[in-house]
Structure 1
Amino acid sequence: MNRQKLSHIFTKIVLKPLRTNLFHIVLLSFFLLAGKHEIYSQENRSLTKNIPAEKQKDSIHLNPDSLKKPTVETKNDTIKKKKSSIDGIVKRKAKDYEKIDQKKKQLTLYNEAELYYKDIELKSGIIVLDYDKDEVYAGRIKDSLGNYTQFPYFKQGQNVVEPDSIRFNFKTKKAKIWNSRTEQSDFRIKAEVSKRENDSVYFMKNARFTTSKNIDDPEYYFLARKIKFVPGKKVVVGLTNMVIADVPTPLGLPFGYFPMSETSASGFIIPSFGDTRDRGYFLQNGGYYFALSDYYDLAVLGDYYTNGSYALRFESSYAKRYAFNGRVNIRFENQIQSERGFPDYTKRREYNIQWSHSQDAKASPNSRFSASVNLGSSQYFRNTLNMLNVGSSLNNNMSSSISYSQTLQTIPQVNFSVTATHSQNTNTQAIDMTLPTFQASVDRIFPFAKRDELKKGIFKNINFQYNLRAENRIHTTDSLFFTAQMFRDSKTGFQHSIPISTNFKVFKFFSVTAGTNYSEVWYLKTISKEFDASQNKVVTNDINGFDAYRTYNFTSNIGTTIYGTFNFGDDKKIQAIRHVMRPSVSYSYLPSFSNYYDTYAIDATGATRADYSRFENGIFGAPGKLMANNIGFTLSNTFEAKVRDKDETKTEPKKVMLLNNLNFSTNYNMAADSLAWSPVMVSGGTQFFNNKMNVNFGTTLDMYAIDNAGKRINKYNIDNGGSLFRMTSANITINYSLSSSDFGPSSDKDSKVNDQNVMNGGRGDDLFGRATDLSDNRHSLFKDKDDDGKDKFKGFYQLALPWDLQFAYSLTYGNNNRENQIVTNSLMVSGNIDLTPQWKVGVSTGYDFVRKGVSFTQFRFERDLLSWRMSFNWVPFGTYSYWGFFIGIKSSVLSDIKWDKRSLPDRRLR
């Protein structure tokens, strides 16, 4: 049943005249009663009094003068004809009867009565239209059991009111409503008596408002004795107190004033209070919300601690339909630990900037702008005072990208883009940026084929294109970020490339690709090296000015696909196994460009010299000095099985993937004088249990031996007393997810709860726990309803308890220098279960078998109190140990009615 906003409880009602015979009946009655005209058929009625034949004296004496000029005296009618306020067409219907009372001038509709007038829709058990008083009344009726049914439903435009009964006067525009039920934003209001004085003022008596979905039996509500309501402007209330489970509480206000608007409104955000061990008492997440326009807003939030620490946050969201949408978060924290003068006193500043922007694909088909920014101080997510985000804390990288791309619809087509990127290592605090990167490319051109011609053969497939890449690259650290030194150390380069390639088939089954690439690199800064006797070391000097080098190479590849099937018979469970091999051999040639190399003395004697290239510090590197003449070998494999389906009604076997991929690769450098073979790389992956378990593995096999210092020597390992290959490293990862939906109806978790975690650079799952945004704890960890609005919980005895489990196992083996040890060996587990429709429990934990300890562990408990939410999060041990309890109203309009108690980890500033 739809409900509307508080500002729409009362609506303007104007009715049109009934399209019936009522008007003709009343008109006919008027003429029949106006005089005593009688009509007889056939003969006239005889007179009862006879007129004598003889003349009699007239008893009336007239003045002759009065006959000269007759006078007529007229008076105005003192009774004015009443004009009805009903000036439109009325449509109505009723199931039982429609009754017209001419004496009372009333129209009565009974049982499933409906009345439509202009933009007004009125449905009720009984409707009485009094066209003499210009009033309409609608009320409920009793059924056969004596229960009230068919409550009035009044709608005007988008405004809906559902009271017990309603009376409205068309002329005065006043209304009186009993037990009105309506909706305003997230509020649902039920008033015992409501009166409408005019279009802009309403009065209510004993009104209760709540965010509960059950307005007739809410789990809580606010009872206001008197309310004056001005739609779209304000609400003034008298004595108001909170009622929980029909039990009045002392929480209340003697009076209140609430501004109200159909659009977003600015207002204060009430902070939460607490205390910490090292920073004292605090006020968190207080501030002001600015409703700037329908397209964007701004929230300014702040924290303050009694030891002097403070934080500021600016959060803004913006959107324009069919164009773009985005979000901006700017956070700054001045963190002080302990007190000045104590040995553990520390002070530092942390900041973080996040910006996400996406463009609607329909906004501009030939251009696109996007942004994903996450930059700031490296230790922000580890030291922040207002967020507990373990996933982001354990992440060692923050990255950003802002790009604009454009396609020019020319022949050939031209594409270009401008991109700014940022990559930051939170452990080393190193930052790499490109401000900006410009890329342009011209679409492929086939010089020996017509534009619409089918391209077959070596010559018609010959094509070339032009690519340009220009970069301004910056390498800096946290301490130098956005300083003058950061820009002085920037490097600029331009790379032009013209690749030429073709492809064709030989011997029908082999595909051949051949190509060459010409590249030219421009730099605006190069280097020179020399030995400085005064410093007794080699110094590198920067040389400003334009310089360039040019290179070229040649590559080719030949490959094919081999299919093999092993049949076991249709009567077997495994009927066949299919093996697909894709071998390929590649050849690449890169000549030596030693002409771009110079020498410098490495000591004061000058007898010993070393080679260097003046381009080696450039962002695209230096040309190769050594000639490369490589042959590469690659073999990829997939294995599938045909399995008889368990469903005997199906005639076709079921395909099962045994190995998604199994890859081998290595190469041989014919120009090398030693160590010509590179290590063999082996990788593979597969899935089990209906793709619920993902297994990926890889290893590196080296055929060369190592000396006692761990350095590779030009001697095969088998000739050194070992095996054919020496395993230098290996790893395996297993991910397995399981949920109740695998055995019944779907019951997915809310996938949006970790959006902030992903935006911060953490994981999207909850293997490292769920992020806790201390500024807003109202959001649930799980879905409360299915898509059809029904409870997911079906009862204890049906065992339909929505749950999910996720496992992640990782094992890494290292033997590069004969250490022969397990580098990492860990298991992570995450699980969630809905014990009842209102109780939800989750846990994230793990175990590190190398360090022999339990990894990050988080327990999550949540109680759904319908309109309220209660949660308890607990990290029992570790660096991020804390506990937090929250109970509050879910709705954003009453988000300040809460109790939030927590013990945050007293982080040591790093």
Structure 2
Amino acid sequence: MNLKLLIFLFLLAVYINLSAQVNIEDTTQFVYSDTLSVLDSASADTLQQVSPRTDVDDVVTAIATDSLTFDVRNKKMNIYGSGELKYKQTDLKSGKILVDFPTNELEAFGIIDTSDTTGQKLVQTPELTEAGDTYQGTSIKYNFKTQRGFISLAKNETEGQTYSGQRVKKVDKDIYFIEDGIYTTCGGDEPVTYFSAKKMKVIHKDKVIAQWIFMYIGGVPVPVPIPFAVFPAESGRRSGIIAPSYGQIGDRGWYFRNFGYFLAISDYMDLAVTGDYYTRGGWGTRSRFRYAKRYNFSGNVNASYSVIKTGDDSDPSRTEQIDWNLSLFHNQQFDPNTRLDVNLQFQSSTYLTNNSVSYNDLLQKDIISNATLNKRWDNGTSMTVNYSRRQNLQSGDIFEILPNINYNVPVIYPFRPKHSTSRDQNWYELIGVNYSGQLMNQRDKVDGNLNIRGGIQHKASVKASPKVGYFNLTPSINYTEKWYNKKIEKFRAPEFITDTTGVVTDTTYSDEERDIKEINFVRTFDFSLSAQTKIYGMFNINGLGIEALRHTITPTISYNYRPDFSEDKFGYYSEYIDRNGNLVRYDQYQREVFSGVSSGEQQQINLSVGNIFEIKTMKDPTDTTSKQQKIQLLNLNASLGYNVAADSLKLSDLRLSYRTQVGDLLSFSGSSSYTFYDFREGTKVNEFLVDKGKGLFRMTNLNFSISTNLSGDKISGETRRSGFGIEEESDFAAFNKTDYIGLYDEVPSDFSIPWNLNLNYNFSLNKPTPDESTIRSTIGASLSVSLTQAWKLTFRGNYDFQANEITAPQVTIFRDLDCWEMNFTWNPLGTWRGFRFEIRMKAPELRDIKVTKSRDIFSGR
């Protein structure tokens, strides 16, 4: 490990900002003024000097708590005791300040602490603040005209970076030379890690340059010095070389990764390009282009290409895999009513497995892409244009919809006066009409076969909502029209069996289908009538902190009529003789994007009952700020249907759904269904269970989930997080706040919550027949514990009760090492078992100083 660290430090010196090899030799000398004229004006505590005939062209303010003297003849001033001198953007505080106006020079010293018996301790040491930057030292000699000077035992801290030295010389407005300098991003008077050099040059808010620099860790120097190093001192985004990381991955060999260049093109865009190299021949390249304009648009384009080679050249099992990825993200608000959101991802099926270290990426089975343009007009009309794509990473199948256009017109009341405000409206004024249209083109590629289908759908409805007594009635007439350019034709295809002489000896048949390309219109309609009311029940409790329990019942009954569109007079169905000689009737539009039409007349009566149970809490009599609260205990719904027109099995399944939330402690939800009919030989028959003495109904499906999230009280004070990321100082939006180049996103660890436990249990039972059932039950857990203010342990995993195995367990250990941090991730089981260890500096400027070790963390590598 020591050898690896030395190699890495050498690479750091070679690659970090090679263009910044600046000469740090000091050749600049002081230039002194020879004249100074002042006006004589003094007071006990404050002195202000202004003269239009001198090099001092602004107000000089001097303050002292002990004494302040001014020699008019020699134009010199002495300030003693918590002195302060202000001139333009320069502010000097010190126990003793000597100012020589003819030479524009000043000297500042600390004063001896009288309480110190040794007489060596100084107090009120000089502190020079210039343009917002503060420098501390034991003594300062400074020319406030040329802004050049010396500081002994100086120290400066700017935006988390500290540099100090035995002697600091300022030779220009933004240039400092430091003798026996120390640079660190660690806090405190004794930093854990720092860089020490005999000569150091600081260019303010640009860079720190050093020759023959030693790195100290815990006060112990790394044996081999770095010939030179350049540390960035800029804030926000900046161009520069991205230092690489190195390590070893299983059968790929040693790697040299993420080496590249970051280009801050402007305040509105940047570009990062990186590359990887593996000793067994593999390589890869990545690029990210980002752009943003605040309150208008933002986005990025990512592209990557990699060649994965496993095994040695002489290994007959050596493999080569090419992976690629292209993604585009764009968000733009054109105006308050028009917005575009784009999230497109295209990649090879094995890209995530071979190139990602994200746990969630490796469990992902589908790649989803979406692009949506939304437009809304002032009258409520809206239009949505959407593109969607789903790629299955296991099968390689692709399902695309391009485009999917939806146009919606809000409800129009044609018989209502334009400016009607009366609540007592006539029944005909309640009649509303609405319309929606949709155009869809679907493109699927399954098993290498391309299938393209499209269509246009129109929907119009006329409905009203009059109130009759305690009931809300809703009659409606719905009309749907679908336009297709294809339909299917099914037929029986013969297959002839011949002998060796070519004579047909037998004939077999297979069921086939083909597309018929022609314009077709599918028109359907239905009528419905529903009635709904609410029934309230109140139970006064006035005990146990509960004032009352309320039960709300919402019964709904509806009737829906739809003709049998499979009849010949509509022309939507056809028939053929199948391979077994049976006459089969089929829907000619069943493959189309909006599907076809259902068979059979429907006169459906539906009944549903909704139940809500709530409690109202009492006020705390001892707390004048307490308030009554309404808490929902249970939401229970039941539904049942009866089809009058069906020739059998008229009664539908009984369906129940339930949901409850016990504060933030427990969440429970589920559903179940029950059939009233008997089964015979695996088929539902038109005989009720109750008639066969088998009970009223039989459960066919049950599923529920229980989850809880528990955590300890949040620790007061400032949240302690790991050092990943700083905020950008540009017009970039929130996505720029993740890190200073945006390539290696990390989730910071939060130590403010001592522990957090998330548990979830899922159960499902599917029982379509009395003799057939499928059960699946799993429990998942995620536990995060802050062992101390520096140690954090996280565990997550799932247990499958049917398979009797733990799935996808992961253990993560995080250690905050002041200005360093350590991450260890271990996947003990499963396809991606292995580990990854990393220790790195937290400061964004030095985060590429790290040591990483991983071994067979994913089997695909």
TM-score normalised by length of structure 1: 0.79
| Structure 1 stretch displaced more, 415-424 or 745-754 | 745-754
Alpha-carbon separation, structure 2, partners of 1:752 and 1:718: 68
Are 2:258 and 1:285 equivalent residues in the alignment? Answer: yes
Aligned 8 A contact 1:235 1:259 in 2: yes
| Letter matched to residue 145 of structure 1 | S
Corresponding position of 2:736? none
Aligned 8 A contact 1:375 1:399 in 2: no
Residue 648 and residue 258 in structure 1: after superposition, are their counterparts in 2 closer, same or farther (change >3 A)?
A: closer
Are 2:373 and 1:404 equivalent residues in the alignment? Answer: yes
Corresponding position of 1:849? 801
Corresponding position of 1:640? 614
Corresponding position of 2:397? 430
| Letter matched to residue 596 of structure 1 | G
Aligned 8 A contact 2:248 2:255 in 1: yes
Are 2:150 and 1:181 equivalent residues in the alignment? Answer: no
Alpha-carbon separation, structure 2, partners of 1:741 and 1:299: 41
Which residue, 319, 331, 343 being the options, matches 1:372?
Answer: 343
Which residue, 476, 490, 493 being the options, matches 2:445?
Answer: 476
Residue 258 and residue 841 in structure 1: after superposition, are their counterparts in 2 closer, same or farther (change >3 A)?
A: closer
Residue 716 and residue 431 in structure 1: after superposition, are their counterparts in 2 closer, same or farther (change >3 A)?
A: farther
| Structure 1 stretch displaced more, 582-591 or 532-541 | 532-541
| Letter matched to residue 757 of structure 2 | L
Which residue, 704, 723, 738 being the options, matches 2:710?
Answer: 738
Deviation at 1:903, TM superposition (A): 1.0
Aligned 8 A contact 2:250 2:856 in 1: no
| Structure 1 stretch displaced more, 280-289 or 715-724 | 280-289
Residue 257 and residue 306 in structure 1: after superposition, are their counterparts in 2 closer, same or farther (change >3 A)?
A: closer
Alpha-carbon separation, structure 1, partners of 2:805 and 2:588: 51
Corresponding position of 1:465? 434
Aligned 8 A contact 1:331 1:351 in 2: yes
Deviation at 1:436, TM superposition (A): 1.6
Which residue, 275, 289, 293 being the options, matches 2:248?
Answer: 275
Alpha-carbon separation, structure 2, partners of 1:201 and 1:182: 13
Are 2:546 and 1:585 equivalent residues in the alignment? Answer: no
Residues 693-842 of structure 1: pairs in structure 2 closer than 5 A: 693-709=666-682, 711-741=683-713, 779=746, 781-784=748-751, 792=752, 802-819=754-771, 823-842=775-794
Aligned 8 A contact 1:167 1:175 in 2: yes
Alpha-carbon separation, structure 1, partners of 2:611 and 2:110: 75
Are 2:861 and 1:900 equivalent residues in the alignment? Answer: no
| Letter matched to residue 584 of structure 1 | T
Residue 109 and residue 712 in structure 1: after superposition, are their counterparts in 2 closer, same or farther (change >3 A)?
A: farther
| Letter matched to residue 677 of structure 2 | Y
Residues 301-312 of structure 1: pairs in structure 2 closer than 5 A: 301-312=274-285
Which residue, 636, 652, 655 being the options, matches 1:678?
Answer: 652
**What is the DSSP-based 3-state SS (H/G/I as helix, E as strand, rest coil) of the residue aligned with 1:893?**
helix
Residue 18 and residue 715 in structure 1: after superposition, are their counterparts in 2 closer, same or farther (change >3 A)?
A: farther
**What is the DSSP-based 3-state SS (H/G/I as helix, E as strand, rest coil) of the residue aligned with 2:428?**
helix
Alpha-carbon separation, structure 1, partners of 2:356 and 2:672: 43
Corresponding position of 2:453? 491
| Letter matched to residue 137 of structure 1 | E
**What is the DSSP-based 3-state SS (H/G/I as helix, E as strand, rest coil) of the residue aligned with 2:362?**
helix
Deviation at 1:319, TM superposition (A): 2.5
Deviations 1:539-560 (A, max 9, x none): 4332334332222222232111
**What is the DSSP-based 3-state SS (H/G/I as helix, E as strand, rest coil) of the residue aligned with 1:675?**
coil
Alpha-carbon separation, structure 1, partners of 2:642 and 2:438: 31
Aligned 8 A contact 2:40 2:72 in 1: no
| Letter matched to residue 636 of structure 1 | G
Deviations 1:771-809 (A, max 9, x none): xxxx9889565225xxxxxxx5xxxxxxxx811111111
Alpha-carbon separation, structure 1, partners of 2:149 and 2:719: 48
Which residue, 6, 17, 21 being the options, matches 2:41?
Answer: 21
Which structure has the highest strand share of the two?
2
Deviations 1:369-397 (A, max 9, x none): 1123344344443x2244141x3333433
Alpha-carbon separation, structure 2, partners of 1:643 and 1:811: 33
Quote the RMSD (CA, aligned, Å). 3.7
Residue 751 and residue 358 in structure 1: after superposition, are their counterparts in 2 closer, same or farther (change >3 A)?
A: farther
Identity %: 28
Deviation at 1:523, TM superposition (A): 1.9
| Letter matched to residue 325 of structure 1 | S
| Letter matched to residue 506 of structure 1 | V
Deviation at 1:241, TM superposition (A): 0.6
Deviations 1:404-444 (A, max 9, x none): 112233xx443222111122344444332111211222333
Corresponding position of 1:523? 484
| Letter matched to residue 555 of structure 1 | S
Corresponding position of 2:85? 115
**What is the DSSP-based 3-state SS (H/G/I as helix, E as strand, rest coil) of the residue aligned with 1:615?**
coil
Aligned 8 A contact 2:722 2:816 in 1: no
**What is the DSSP-based 3-state SS (H/G/I as helix, E as strand, rest coil) of the residue aligned with 1:611?**
strand
Deviation at 1:649, TM superposition (A): 4.6
Which residue, 868, 872, 890 being the options, matches 2:820?
Answer: 868
Are 2:65 and 1:95 equivalent residues in the alignment? Answer: yes
Corresponding position of 2:462? 500
Residues 531-550 of structure 1: pairs in structure 2 closer than 5 A: 531-533=492-494, 536-550=509-523
Which residue, 418, 424, 428 being the options, matches 1:451?
Answer: 418
Residue 562 and residue 853 in structure 1: after superposition, are their counterparts in 2 closer, same or farther (change >3 A)?
A: same
Where do 5+ consecutive residues of structure 2 fail to align?
1-21, 23-27, 44-50, 497-508, 726-741
Residues 52-451 of structure 1: pairs in structure 2 closer than 5 A: 84-142=54-112, 145-146=115-116, 148-183=122-157, 187-199=161-173, 201-214=175-188, 216-231=189-204, 235-256=208-229, 264-338=237-311, 344-359=317-332, 364-381=335-352, 383-389=353-359, 391-409=360-378, 412-451=379-418
Residue 180 and residue 351 in structure 1: after superposition, are their counterparts in 2 closer, same or farther (change >3 A)?
A: same
Corresponding position of 2:634? 660
| Letter matched to residue 98 of structure 2 | V
Alpha-carbon separation, structure 1, partners of 2:439 and 2:115: 84
Residue 748 and residue 152 in structure 1: after superposition, are their counterparts in 2 closer, same or farther (change >3 A)?
A: closer
Deviation at 1:345, TM superposition (A): 4.9
**What is the DSSP-based 3-state SS (H/G/I as helix, E as strand, rest coil) of the residue aligned with 2:419?**
coil
Deviation at 1:729, TM superposition (A): 1.6
Corresponding position of 2:471? 510
| Letter matched to residue 179 of structure 1 | L
Where do 5+ consecutive residues of structure 1 fail to align?
1-6, 24-80, 755-774, 785-791, 793-800
Alpha-carbon separation, structure 1, partners of 2:58 and 2:625: 69
Residue 620 and residue 892 in structure 1: after superposition, are their counterparts in 2 closer, same or farther (change >3 A)?
A: same
Aligned 8 A contact 1:641 1:657 in 2: yes
Which residue, 509, 530, 533 being the options, matches 1:560?
Answer: 533
| Structure 1 stretch displaced more, 467-476 or 622-631 | 622-631
Residue 831 and residue 105 in structure 1: after superposition, are their counterparts in 2 closer, same or farther (change >3 A)?
A: same
Alpha-carbon separation, structure 2, partners of 1:751 and 1:897: 15
Aligned 8 A contact 1:740 1:747 in 2: no
Residues 42-53 of structure 1: pairs in structure 2 closer than 5 A: none
Alpha-carbon separation, structure 2, partners of 1:806 and 1:749: 22
Residue 505 and residue 749 in structure 1: after superposition, are their counterparts in 2 closer, same or farther (change >3 A)?
A: farther
**What is the DSSP-based 3-state SS (H/G/I as helix, E as strand, rest coil) of the residue aligned with 2:172?**
coil
Alpha-carbon separation, structure 2, partners of 1:872 and 1:332: 28
Alpha-carbon separation, structure 2, partners of 1:511 and 1:612: 40
Alpha-carbon separation, structure 2, partners of 1:210 and 1:270: 18
**What is the DSSP-based 3-state SS (H/G/I as helix, E as strand, rest coil) of the residue aligned with 1:384?**
helix
| Letter matched to residue 447 of structure 1 | P
TM-score normalised by length of structure 2: 0.83
Residue 558 and residue 152 in structure 1: after superposition, are their counterparts in 2 closer, same or farther (change >3 A)?
A: farther
Aligned 8 A contact 1:17 1:90 in 2: no
Residue 386 and residue 576 in structure 1: after superposition, are their counterparts in 2 closer, same or farther (change >3 A)?
A: closer
